[in-house]
Amino acid sequence: MKAIPLSRRKFAQLLGAGAAAALVRPAVSFAKQSEHLPATSQVVRLSANENPYGPSTKALKAMTDSFTLACRYPDEHNNVLIDKLAKLNGVNRDEILLGDGSSEILKLCAETFTGKERGTLVAADPTFEAILSQAAVNGAETVKVPLTSSFAHDLRKMLVAARGGLIYICNPNNPTASITPKDELREFIAKTPRDTMVLVDEAYFHFADSPDYESVIPLVNDHPNLLVARTFSKIYGMAGLRCGYCVAQKPSIDRMHARQMWDSVNIMALAAASASLEDPDQVPNGQRLNKEAKSFTVHELEKVGYKTIPSQANFIMFDCKRPVVPLIQAMKERNVHVGRLFPSLPNHMRVTIGKSSEMESFVSVFKQVAA
Ligand SMILES: Cc1ncc(COP(=O)(O)O)c(C=O)c1O
């Protein structure tokens, strides 16, 4: 909240208005729904890789229908979602662990598989950094391995750096939106010794459409040291609700579960996640809208000479050809919020793909500040 130049009260009022509008909104198609969402403020928030269209109308209805369940513990609602996720991913139900966002899954992985006795955490640079600090708090040595020149994970060097513990692969990678090719990743997983865990974070899985990309969930069956994290925060538009999950073999799930807080996923998030999976439009519409707004943005940047790293996610990263920090600040002063500085790429800006109108604002403001 600190980054938004709105008073907390004003922001809460705006959120309230948005939520109220959502509740009275009739059940319309996803695309129509997104067109009619009220503009919440002048702030264009392109800083956190959120989904600007929000949850499925089925999820919104499931949440309102479950208001009366707020006094109950989530117990059996956990089971409903676990059953659906097991079926969706072709695994057993005891190979799924729900989390309070995939952030909780990452934290549990750091706590369970890294530390002074358990070993190092190896991650790319730059990547999504939460797990690095969680491993460090745990007393683990952390090793950062720079991405390759094509912004893929340098799997060979990561394997050399590993000492038991855990190797974290973010695919597609945040902040670069790049992928690590499927053949390389498959070979790497096959080669990694079993005393080293491999966590593949697939938060942006749904936005990747390259023939060189695939999920590694089908490999879990053959690899006891493989863990995969997924989230409802991105394509399902539920970042504020907090729900994610892990797919792994039962012994790993059991070890993580033993460290987890009871009832960590709240009942509204469970209801919404479960209903989202029943909406056949949520994923394809989200993919289409993201692709359209992304093509527009990439093309507009190219026209004025800025090259984007090929994006397989709901955000882009591009070379600003000068230090990014003053640009981030200048854009913020004009109410367009983009991603923070990533120190190993000091001239690159990360921008979430919002709605088309938001991307038009972004392009126009970027051109002003970069002129
Ligand atoms: C790669 C990656 N993993 C995990 C997360 C955490 O997501 P959540 O805790 O909302 O599931 C994020 C959030 O942006 C992310 O970019």
What's the pLDDT tens digit per position in 290-325?
A: 999 999 999 999 999 999 999 999 999 999 999 999
pTM attached to this predicted model: 0.90
**Which token pair is 95?**
């190979």
Tell me if residue 122 falls in helix, strand or coil.
Answer: strand
Non-local (6+) Cβ contacts of 278 within 8 A are: 58
Tell me if residue 229 falls in helix, strand or coil.
Answer: strand
Q: What is the DSSP string of 21-57?
A: HHHHS----HHHHHHHSPP--S-EEESS---TT-S-H
Non-local (6+) Cβ contacts of 218 within 8 A are: 90
Q: How far apart are CA 52 and CA 30, in angstroms?
A: 12
pLDDT reading at 18 higher than 80 = no
Question: pLDDT tens for residues 116-140?
Answer: 999 999 999 999 999 999 999 999 9
Q: How far apart are CA 231 and CA 46, in angstroms?
A: 19
Domains of the chain, with CATH numbers? 8-53+280-370 (3.90.1150.10), 64-276 (3.40.640.10)
DSSP 345: S
Compute the distance from residue 203 Cα to the ligand 1 centre, in Å. Answer: 6
Nearest to 37 by CA among 355, 360, 361, 353: 355
Q: How far apart are CA 58 and CA 285, in angstroms?
A: 14
Strand partners, 201: 170, 229
Question: pLDDT tens for residues 240-255?
Answer: 999 999 999 999 999 9
CB burial of residue 27 (10 Å; 0-12, 13-18, 19+) = exposed
Q: What pLDDT, on the 0 to 100 scale, is given for residue 249?
A: 98
Atom of ligand 1 minimally distant from the CA of 244 = 11
Q: Region 40-46: what's the mean pLDDT?
A: 80
- Tally of CA atoms within 13 A in the half-sphere of 236 that contains its CB: 28
Cβ of residue 175 lying under 6 Å from some atom of ligand 1: no
Nearest to 174 by CA among 143, 140, 141, 207: 207
More confident residue, 133 or 3: 133
Question: pLDDT tens for residues 60-102?
Answer: 999 999 999 999 999 888 999 999 999 999 999 999 999 999 9
Tell me if residue 170 falls in helix, strand or coil.
Answer: strand
Grade residue 41 by pLDDT with cuts at 50, 70 and 90: low
Best residue among 45, 231, 340 to mutate for probing ligand 1, ranked by most atoms within 8 Å of CB: 231
Compute the distance from residue 354 Cα to the ligand 1 centre, in Å. Answer: 17
Q: What pLDDT, on the 0 to 100 scale, is given for residue 39?
A: 40
Cβ of residue 244 lying under 6 Å from some atom of ligand 1: yes
Phi-psi region at 162: left, alpha or beta (left = phi > 0; alpha = psi -120 to 50): beta
Atom of ligand 1 minimally distant from the CA of 242 = 10
Non-local (6+) Cβ contacts of 60 within 8 A are: 22, 23, 25, 54, 272
Q: What pLDDT, on the 0 to 100 scale, is given for residue 75?
A: 85
Q: What pLDDT, on the 0 to 100 scale, is given for residue 80?
A: 95
Q: What pLDDT, on the 0 to 100 scale, is given for residue 77?
A: 86
Tell me if residue 342 falls in helix, strand or coil.
Answer: coil
Strand partners, 98: 245
pLDDT reading at 22 higher than 80 = no
Cβ of residue 264 lying under 6 Å from some atom of ligand 1: no
The share of the chain scoring above pLDDT 90, in percent, equals 88
Closest protein CA for atom 6 of ligand 1: 103
Q: Region 205-216: what's the mean pLDDT?
A: 98
Question: pLDDT tens for residues 144-191?
Answer: 999 999 999 999 999 999 999 999 999 999 999 999 999 999 999 999
Tell me if residue 153 falls in helix, strand or coil.
Answer: coil
Grade residue 19 by pLDDT with cuts at 50, 70 and 90: very low
Atom of ligand 1 minimally distant from the CA of 104 = 9
